């Protein structure tokens, strides 16, 4: 393998590691948001927040030379998983707070 490709791959590996670390931190934060939403009986998805983020990320992608459609799809991939997890948290929370059912309920 040419040394130039190996050199480039070393930086690509560093960036991939950073992306995984960033995603791990992001999911820690969104889990906390999910717990707060469950406690406050708020729905997992927030369409107005979604619209703000899409507008903001589109502008950032355009300014930085990334395909904005890709940026929006990438965000949607992540947020879909966040919402799936929020739904699980909400179900867990609802189960915890439900009254005990008797044998005949
Ligand atoms: C995390 C939240 O919940 C959902 C997930 C979002 C995200 O991962 O960025 C944004 C909005 C919501 O659809 C939130 O409302 O902040």
- Domains defined along the chain, listed by start: 3-97 (1.20.59.10)
pLDDT along the chain (105 residues), means of 10: 97 98 98 98 96 98 98 98 98 77 58
Nearest CA to ligand 1 atom 16: 33
The pLDDT, as a whole number, for residue 100 is: 58
Instruction: Answer yes or no: is the C-beta of 50 below 6 A from any ligand 1 atom.
Output: yes
33 CB within 6 A, ligand 1:
yes
Give the pLDDT of residue 96.
Answer: 75
* Strand, helix or coil for residue 98: coil
Tell me the Ramachandran region of residue 98: left when phi exceeds 0, alpha when psi lies from -120 to 50, beta otherwise.
beta
Tell the residue number behind the tokens 């107005």, with chain if given: 48
Q: 61 near 67, Cβ under 8 Å?
A: yes
37, 45, 81: residue to mutate for ligand 1 pocket, most atoms within 8 A of CB: 45
């Amino acid at each position: 393998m040419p040394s130039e490709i190996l050199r480039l791959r070393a930086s690509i590996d560093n960036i991939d590691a950073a992306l995984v670390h960033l995603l791990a931190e992001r999911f820690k934060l969104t889990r906390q948001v999910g717990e707060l939403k469950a406690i406050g009986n708020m729905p997992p998805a927030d369409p107005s927040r979604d619209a703000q983020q899409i507008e903001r990320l589109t502008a950032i992608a355009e300014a930085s030379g990334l395909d904005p459609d890709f940026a929006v799809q990438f965000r949607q991939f992540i947020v879909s998983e966040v919402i799936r997890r929020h739904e699980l948290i909400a179900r867990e929370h609802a189960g915890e707070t439900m009254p005990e059912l008797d044998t005949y309920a």
